[in-house]
Amino acid sequence: MLYGLMAYFDSPEKLLDALKTLKAQGYRRLEALTPNPVEGVEEVLGGDGRIPWIAFALGVLGVGLGLFLQIYTTLDYPHNAGGKTLLGWPAFIPVTFELTILTITVGIFLFLLYINGLPLASHPAVQAREYVRVLLDEYGVFVYASDPRFDLEGTRGLLARLGAEVEEVRRD
């Protein structure tokens, strides 16, 4: 069964040009695979502005958890420690701070995995024989065979014209 076509470009500029052309021609089911972050890719494939907001929300949650924990436990077992005020808030700063950071860190890490669809057991692009190249020094585009515009010869020709080496990816 044909999974799709893998195209290898030797520079990020070619990759960006190719992505723009493919998008302009109406291709929708494609992925860019790169060894490191490529600047400008979010303009073509769409960026993600959610991360800072999610982090902020997690931070608010963390502050709430931290303060709740300390206020609740202090009121539940009121204890005169050296004559300090029962709810002396300055003493609550360190724990609130640490719990805020802990909540954001763990939460945002899990969120990253979630939006990236990880962990993932297998991915069609990884089946490509030369796949390791896109983890080293080349910039790949994987066009899924399920794309409505996909046409084996036509797409292959288009990718080759854009300057790529093209490989068919099939299930063995």
Partner 1 sequence: MAHKEPHPDRDLIQGEWTEKTLVEKLLEPVEKPAPSPWKVVVAVGAALTLVWLYSLFVTFVKGLGTWGINQPVAWGFDIVHFVWWIGIGHAGTLISAILVLMRQNWRDSLNRVTEAMTLFAVLAAATFPLIHMGRPQLFYWVMPYPTHMALWPQYKSPLSWDVLAIMTYLTISTLFLYLGLIPDLALLRERSKGFRRKLYGWLSLGWTGNAVHWQRYRAVYVLLAGLATPVVISVHSVVSMDFAYGLVPGWHLTVFPPFFASGAIYSGFAMALTLIIPLRRWYRLEGVITERHLDWMAKVTLASGLGVAYIYLLEIFIAWYAGEPAEWAQQIWRMTGPYAPYYWAMMLINVVLLQTLWFPRFRRNLTWLFIFSILANVGMWLERFVIVVISLSHDFVPGNFHLYHPTWVDWALFLGTIGFFLFGLALFIRLFPPIAVAEMVHLFHRLRKH
Tokens 């790169």 correspond to 34
149's torsion region: left (phi>0), alpha (psi -120 to 50) or beta? alpha
DSSP string, 114-145: HHTT-S-S--GGGGSTTTTHHHHT-EEEEEET
- The amino acid sitting at 11 is S
The site for partner 1 (CB under 8 A) is made up of 11, 31-38, 41-42, 45-48, 51-52, 55, 69-70, 73-74, 76-77, 79, 81, 84, 88, 91-92, 94-95, 97-99, 101-102, 104-106, 108-109, 112-113, 115-116, 118-123, 125-126, 131-132, 134-137, 140
Query: Which CB sits closer to partner 1, 122 or 153?
Result: 122
Query: Which CB sits closer to partner 1, 74 or 166?
Result: 74
For residue 30, what is the enclosing H or E element? strand 30-33
Cβ at position 151, least distance to partner 1 in Å = 24
Cβ at position 2, least distance to partner 1 in Å = 19
